[in-house]
Amino acid sequence: MESILKGRVHKFGDNINTDYIIAGKYTKTLDFATLAEHVFEDIAPGFAKKVLPGDIVAAGRNFGCGSSREQAPIAIKHAGIGAILAKSYARIFFRNAINQGIPAFLCDTGEIEEGDSLLVDLEKNVVELPDRGKIIPLSPLSPVMLDILREGGLVAYLKKNGTYLLSR
Partner 1 sequence: MGKTAAEKIVSAHVHEEVKTGDFVIADVDLAMIHDTTGPIAIKAFEEYGRKRVWNPSKMVIVLDHATPSPNERISNLHTLLRRFASSQGIPLFDAGEGVCHQLVVEQGLVAPGGLAVGADSHTCTYGALNVFAFGIGSTDMSGVMLTGKLWLRVPGTMKVEFRGAMPEGTCAKDLMLHLIGKIGSDGADYLALSFCGETVRGMSLSERMTLSNMAIECGAKAGLMEADEKTFAHLKALGGPVPRPLWDDDDADFASQVAIDASAIPPQVSRPHSVDSVVPVTEVTGTEIHQAYIGTCTNGRLEDLRIAARVLAGRRISGNCRLSVCPPSRKVLKEALAEGIIAQLVEAGATLLPPGCGPCPGTHLGVPGDGEKVISTANRNFKGRMGNNKAEIYLASPATCAASALEGKIADPRKYLRS
Instruction: Name the residues that contact partner 1, by CB under 8 A.
Output: 15, 17, 19-20, 23-25, 27-30, 41-43, 61-62, 65-71, 73-74, 88, 90-93, 95-96, 99-100, 142-144, 153-155, 158-159, 162-164, 166, 168
CB of 130 to partner 1, least distance (A): 31
The minimum distance between CB 121 and partner 1, in angstroms, equals 26
Nearer to partner 1 by Cβ, of 43 and 52: the residue is 43
87 vs 70: CA distance, rounded Å = 20
* Contact partners, residue 35, CB within 8 Å, separation at least 6: 22, 26, 27, 29, 71, 74, 75, 78
CA distance 21 to 48: 11
Task: Assess contact for 23 and 38: CB atoms under 8 A.
Answer: yes
For partner 1, the closer CB: 24 or 137:
24
Nearer to partner 1, 41 or 121 (CB): 41
Nearer to partner 1 by Cβ, of 38 and 118: the residue is 38
C-alpha to C-alpha distance for 77 and 123, rounded to whole angstroms? 23
- Please give the Cα distance from 123 to 129 (Å, whole number): 16
Single-letter code of the amino acid located at 71: Q
Choose between 27 and 109: whose C-beta lies nearer to partner 1. Answer: 27
